[in-house]
Amino acid sequence: MGLISDGTTIFDAGVMSAGLGGSMVFIKKLTASSSSSLSFVNGSNGVVLDSTYKEYLFLYKDIHPSVDGPNLQVQFNDSSSNAVTKTSNSFYAYHNEGDSTTQLVYVASGDLTQATGPQPIALDITNQNDSSAVGFLHLFNPSSTTFVKHFIASGTHMHDNIAVLSDHFSGYCNTTSAVAEVVFNMQSGNMDAGDISLYGIA
Amino acid sequence: MGLISNGTTLLDAGALDGGVATGAMTLLSTSTASSSANLTFASGINSTYKEYVFKFIDIHPQTNGKHFQVNFRDGSSAYDATKTTLMFYSYHDEGDGTPALAFVNSDVVAQSTDAGRINTGQGSDNDESCAGTLHLYNPSSTTFVKHFHSNIAYTDSSGTPNSINVFVSGYCNVSAAIDGVQFSFNSGNIDSGTIKMYGIK
């Protein structure tokens, strides 16, 4: 039996009615512990990554690599776990602790051209003990079988030259197949620590 | 007595059950300026959330051409955490003069306890203000540096009024937890405006 207040259903069948809990809905948090990857697979382990939401937001916090200097990267797969084709762009801003270098540049090593390889989202992270990477990834309408699937990522981290680096990426999965899996890993080595949370935007 | 729907506990002991899906972004505090030297969030920043978001709504300075800035408290009463930052912006003026995208060398800090600027040269005409967002990650960590980044839109009326979109990233290079955040201008007061602090579950 549901809970109805003044004609409005508040709860029914054990869940709060849509629209009452806020528009940013927490779905799943994965925590790294010497992990080779963190995978969000639709329908698995409580993950929703389908037509339920038109926008999904991943927040990554204090990702710490096991080796010095790898990229944090993301892969988008279809429902058969096949990596999809992507085209993207990349730029960053940089300032080192020694105050000797500042940069605002396009980064060709961070972009993809009709490639199925992983998309970098944080470049050259140092693995000093106090170093980590933070940021976000938006994925829009992954279940569309009409349009390409756009993504935008931005973050900040300690670069392996001991600098603050601000990463910016956007691109699209150039496929009419739905994207049903999003997998994060390091370019080399493991994710020693950190967590990634997935939200649906209603 | 709890509230149970279809076998699932929804409310018990005055609180929503942890299994009930709710909003992930929670308003924690609102601070409104009125000729204020600063707006300070001295409580509520702890391990409850791994990300805190500050929203700036129509921050209006007393003095023209000053810089909106942030500093962080890291264990004492002072807002002086050591930090390194970067800043870049794009701008375009009302006269359709040459637009630009540039790194802003003059407004960054390197291993400094000074406040970190999060815009530069904000206008103080009656209709001018700034608006935007600052994210602070995992402030209670005693292992990692504490990252933050901001994005603010504002106007600079030093010449032909500009639309400016400024981005700042940085980290507090301290092992102590950050438990307070303070916003101010490098000179003069915050005449008006509101800052809201949210926690992200």
List chain A residues with CB under 8 Å of B102. 104
Q: Which pLDDT belongs to residue B116?
A: 98
pLDDT at A22: 77
Q: Which of B3, B110, B148 is facing A99, going by the closest CB pair?
A: B110
Indicate the residue type of A43: G
Which residue, among A103, A130, A131, would best test binding to B if mutated, counting the most B CBs under 10 Å from its CB? A130
Query: How confident is the model at residue A18, as a pLDDT?
Result: 55
- For B110, nearest residue in chain A (alpha carbons): A97
Separation of alpha carbons A172 and A112, rounded Å: 10
What pLDDT is recorded for position A4? 73
Residue among B24, B86, B137 whose CB faces A199 most closely: B24
Per-residue confidence (pLDDT) for residue A122, from 0 to 100: 98
pTM: 0.90
* Structural domains present in chain A: 34-201 (2.60.120)
**What is the least distance, in Å, from the CA of A13 to any CA of chain B?**
5
**What pLDDT shows up at residue B23?**
77
ipTM over 0.95: no
Q: Which residue has the higher pLDDT, B94 or A5?
A: B94
Residue A129: count of CB within 10 angstroms of its CB: 10
Cβ distance A73 to A121 under 8 Å? yes
Tokens standing for A175?
Answer: 């496929």
Contact residues on chain B for A133, CB-CB shorter than 8 A: 147
Half-sphere exposure of A7 (CA within 13 A, CB side): 0
Contacting residues of B for A129, CB less than 8 Å apart: 143
Q: Do B147 and A157 touch (CB under 8 A)?
A: yes
Query: In this structure, what are the phi and psi dihedrals at residue A108, rounded to the nearest 5 degrees?
Result: -65, -30
In this structure, which amino acid lies at residue A144?
S
Tens digits of per-residue pLDDT, B69-101?
Answer: 999 999 999 999 999 999 999 999 999 998 999
Residue A19 above 60 pLDDT? no
A131 min Cα distance to partner chain B (Å): 6
* Shortest alpha-carbon distance between residue B172 and chain A (Å): 10
Those residues with Cβ within 8 angstroms of residue B135's Cβ, 6 or more apart along the chain or in another chain: A134, B51, B52, B53, B54, B148, B149, B150
User: Phi and psi for A101 in degrees, rounded to 5?
Assistant: -140, 130
For chain A, give the mean pLDDT.
93
pLDDT confidence bin for B1, thresholds 50/70/90: low
Percent of chain A with pLDDT over 70: 91
Rounded to a whole number, what is the distance in Å from the CA of B132 to chain A's nearest CA?
Answer: 16
Per-residue model confidence (pLDDT) at position B11: 67
Amino acid symbol at A179? V
Asked if residue B138 lies in contact with residue B72, where contact means CB atoms within 8 angstroms, the answer is: no
Interchain CB distance below 8 Å, A95 and B86: yes
Chain B residues with CB-CB distance to A under 8 A? 3, 5-8, 10, 20-25, 50-51, 84-88, 101-103, 105, 108, 110-111, 135, 137-138, 141, 143-145, 147-149, 167, 169-171, 173, 175, 200-201
Q: Which residues contact B75 (CB under 8 A, 6 or more apart)?
A: B174, B176, B177, B179
Give tens-digit pLDDT for A84-135.
999 999 999 999 999 999 999 999 999 999 999 999 999 999 999 999 999 9
Token couple for B4: 């149970």
- Determine which of B74, B133, B147 to mutate to test the interface with A (most A C-beta atoms within 10 Å): B147
Interface test with B, best of A11, A30, A92, A106 (most B CBs within 10 A): A11
Q: Which of B10, B24, B145 sits opposite A158 (nearest CB)?
A: B145
Write down the pLDDT at residue A132: 97
Q: Which of A104, A106, A107, A123 is the best residue to mutate to test the B interface, defined by the most B CB atoms within 10 Å of its own CB?
A: A104
Residue B11 Cα distances to A3, A21, B17, angstroms: 11, 14, 5
Pairing status of strand B116-117 against strand B68-73: antiparallel
pLDDT of residue A13: 64
Distance of alpha carbon A115 from alpha carbon A106, whole angstroms: 19
Taking 70 as the threshold, does the pLDDT of residue B43 lie above it?
Answer: yes
Taking CB atoms within 8 Å and a gap of at least 24, the contacts of A159-162 are A159/A94, A159/A96, A159/A123, A159/A124, A159/A125, A159/A126, A160/A68, A160/A69, A160/A124, A160/A125, A160/A126, A161/A96, A161/A101, A161/A124, A161/A126, A162/A96, A162/A97, A162/A98, A162/A126, A162/A128
